[in-house]
Structure 1
Amino acid sequence: MMDNRKERFIVSSETDESQPDCEHGSRDFLKEGKSKRFWRGVKYQLVEYHTLPAYLRDNEYILRYYRSEWPLKQVFLSIFYIHNETLNIWTHLIGFLLFLSLTIYTAMKIPKVMDLQVVQQLSNMLRSTDFGKINAELNLPSLPNMADFHKFKSELKTSLPSVDFLPSLSVWNGLDLLTNCLPKHSVADPVKDCILKSVEGDMGNSLHSFPVDPVTRWPFFTFLGGAMFCLLASSTCHLLSCYSERLSYIMLRFDYSGIAALIATSFYPPVYYSFMCHPFLCNLYLSFITLLGIASIAFSLLPVFQKPHFRTLRASLFFGMGVSGAVPIMHKLILYWDKPVALETTAYEVLMGAFYGIGALIYAKRIPERWKPGKYDIAGHSHQFFHVLVVAGAYTHYHAGLIYLRWRDMEGCSKN
């Protein structure tokens, strides 16, 4: 009897002890699941500077909000997160989209815009012409036949030599189309109004039927291509460099090459359009800046160039490359000192250089975060100012390029 009770007690005890073990196992399983979810979340959290691997330590004054070796999917998605690279990514990504739009606009609209400016200049010239005075001087009270009209046209051409800025438009031959504008007894305002209407209307609408040959655009598009390459390379570098050391190395080489490409191609429009009528000088300057750009890109690919203590050397190299452009600019001013377009384009180029130079200085000196480490981790640090100034400089140069195109489209080499 005692043995039976003892057996039941042992069995009961074993059964009672088994139940808590099962519950304890369930709790452990739940805790393990929560732990995995927690650490999975922590894995994609932003970290501080002192926890970064060596290859990600670039700016010791930015203390927090770093991404470090995230999975590639999370790295791509981080373009929509808030961290210390968010504004670096978007400032140049927006800049890339801006220049892509400008490239499309330039390819599709700029030739027509330049032609309309030609028509506008012609119409402005006609508005400033005193047809009544010409009529009095030529003593043409009436024009009964075409012989008198041709005589009037010949005298008008002699009286307005400034119209020669459009030799390829054959404007004076086109005046034959305006015969119906001539009144029977006077050559005054009615004729002037009719000519203006014809120039701005029929001629403006069918301007491309005239043999107008705009200057080549390839130097301008080379600059736009260099700008887009630089901005896209920079944005991609800031997005992906946190993935791994290998990818960071590749992206930084890509970024430095983009900067060198932007600086080199920025010289193509001013050099080509300033010296297109002087082939030797044009080829000399273009060859020099091309070789300097290739050398800068090659130097940028060296592994040692990536180290943080070469930051000042990097900025100095690119700054010196930009300053070298002062030589062709000064030469342009000497050649075209009497042309307002030379001063206008130079003003834009100086402004562009100021944007680039100030940006490089801010980048090299780590201003303002060096004054208050940790305060500008998300917004307001030097690299973001540098990015904004690069876009501003490139956009300024775009406007200078438009002035060059208008100048050469209207004058070519006829007045050099």
Structure 2
Amino acid sequence: MDIFTGPKLLDFKNSPLHLQFNKYVLTGYRPISTCRDCLRSLFYLHNEFGNIYTHGIPFICFMLFLPLSIPWAEVEWWIGVVHYLACLSPTVCSVFYHLFMNHEGGAPIYDTLLCFDMFGVCLVNTLGALPIIHITLLCYPSSRRVAMLAYLLLSGYGVHCAVSAQSNVHRLQSFAWQAIFRFVLFMLRLTGAGRGSPAALRLYLTMDTLALLGGLVNISRLPERFSPGRFDYWFNSHQIMHIMVVLSIVYLHWGTLEDLTWLKGYHCPSE
């Protein structure tokens, strides 16, 4: 069989039950497939094709080009590592989820992949924030250690909530406490109590705004809610969320670079 020729695609009501989570996407469902056939679906059009590539292409770009822009020799090594992993994690986990979600293992494999996808989102929320905490509380080492520990514990709880959530709404809510924690850090910077680049603060606020809007678009099922079947392959809510997540990661990267540039020339006031 030609690798570019896919199987007969299914409509919503004839698709596997565990894939019937968006009733406004009516066609283009892949049948239950082997691992090899899941990989073959990279080469023909179906309703997960856009979801795979809207994160797959950015993953490759991030993997290859982000390390070139991180000033490794000028910062503590762990900052570069956790930032790099934060930027990669949601895209690579998402690609695995969307690529293999119709695997012949059925609902158990799907549930495992969904947890893996949620874990990637949790990682970017967790690892991406650690350099922000470090720089915001740069001159308060005791408070910085407590804040990092508290955020890690909060993130662990968020992972548990995200992987056990039964709906998109509850999954989005799982990240609320992390977002509130980051907002407190941003307010510390805004009031002058925290440290960091003013330019980075604007970028971080844009980052979280994009992530929130992407999540809201996804749970609202817009625009396919108003025209079922029209957005089965392109520009449905999940693809729009993917694009906004990628933009959010880009803003996280830009903000971190601004902070690292600021860090090179800053020294805490002596006690």
- Scaled by the length of structure 1, the TM-score of the pair is 0.60
User: CA offsets, 1:106-130, max 9 Å, x none?
Assistant: 45xx257xxxxxxxxxxxxxxxxxx
Task: Provide, for residues 158-186 of structure 1, a one-character-per-residue CA deviation record: whole Å limited to 9, x for no partner.
Answer: xxxxxxxxxxxxxxxxxxxxxxxxxxxxx
- Residue of structure 2 in register with 1:77 after alignment: 40
Distance 2:77 2:175 in 1: 26
Letter in 1 for 2:12: Y
The residue correspondences of 1:381-396 to structure 2 (distance < 5 A) are 381-396=236-251
The CA distance in 1 between the partners of 2:250 and 2:224, in whole Å, is: 27
Residues of 2 paired with 1:415 and 1:380: CA distance?
54
Instruction: Give distance in 1, aligned partners of 2:267 and 2:59.
Output: 32
In 2, distance between residues paired with 1:369 and 1:268? 37
* 1:378 aligned residue (209, 227, 233): 233
* Of 318, 324, 340, the match for 2:175: 318
For residue 329 of structure 1, give the secondary structure of its aligned residue in structure 2: helix
Q: How does 1:8-407 map to 2 (within 5 A)?
A: 44-106=7-69, 110-111=71-72, 214-243=74-103, 244-302=106-164, 305=165, 307=166, 310-335=167-192, 342-407=197-262
Letter of the aligned partner of 2:17 in structure 1?
Answer: A
Q: 1:268 to 1:364 in 2, by over 3 A?
A: same
* Aligned mates of 1:375, 1:43 — CA distance in 2: 21
- CA deviation digits over 1:263-289, x for unaligned, max 9? 112211211012122112211221122
- Separation in 2, partners of 1:91, 1:405: 28
Counterpart code for 2:84: L
8 A contact 1:242–1:248 mirrored in 2: yes
Instruction: Give CA deviations for 1:352-373 in whole Å, capped at 9, x if unaligned.
Output: 0111010010011011000110
Deviation at 1:386, TM superposition (A): 0.4
Shift of 1:43: 9.3
Name the SS for the 2:8 alignment partner. coil
- CA contact under 8 A between 1:220 and 1:401: conserved in structure 2? no
CA contact (8 A) 2:86 2:127 kept: yes
Query: What is the TM-score with the length of structure 2 in the denominator?
Result: 0.90
Aligned residues: 266
Q: Does the C-alpha gap of structure 1 residues 296 and 275 become closer, same or farther in structure 2, counting only changes over 3 Å?
A: same
How far apart in 2 are the matches of 1:312 and 1:384? 17
| TM-aligned CA deviation for residue 319 of structure 1 | 4.1
Deviations 1:305-335 (A, max 9, x none): 2x4xx22111122244323311111112333
Contact kept in structure 2, 1:47 and 1:66, CA below 8 Å: yes
Match of 1:28 in 2: none
* Identical residues among aligned pairs (%): 23
CA distance in structure 2 between the partners assigned to 1:335 and 1:215 by the alignment? 23
Residues 415/356 of structure 1: CA separation in 2 closer, same or farther (3 Å cut): farther
Structure 2 SS opposite 1:277: coil
Q: CA distance change for structure 1 residues 43 and 394 in 2, over 3 Å: closer, same or farther?
A: closer
Distance 1:68 1:374, change over 3 A: same
**Stretches of structure 1 lacking an aligned partner (at least 5 in a row):** 1-36, 113-213
- The structure with more radius of gyration: 1
Q: What is the distance in 1 between the residues matched to 2:221 and 2:14?
A: 21
8 Å Cα contact 1:226-1:262 kept in structure 2: yes
Greater shift in the superposed pair: 343-352 or 373-382? 343-352
> After the TM superposition, which parts of structure 1 deviate over 6 Å for at least 4 consecutive aligned residues?
none
Cα distance in structure 2, aligned partners of 1:374 and 1:284:
50
Hey, what's the Cα distance between the residues in 2 that align with 1:254 and 1:345? 30
1:368-416 deviation line (CA, Å, top 9, x unaligned): 0001100000001000010010110111111111111111111233589
Q: CA separation in 2, counterparts of 1:90 and 1:318?
A: 25
Q: RMSD over aligned Cα, in angstroms?
A: 2.3
CA distance in 1, matches of 2:161, 2:9: 33
Query: Structure 2 CA distance, aligned partners of 1:320 and 1:359?
Result: 17
Evaluate the alpha carbon distance shift between residue 319 and residue 391 of structure 1 in structure 2; reply closer, same or farther with a 3 A threshold. farther
Shift of 1:246: 2.3
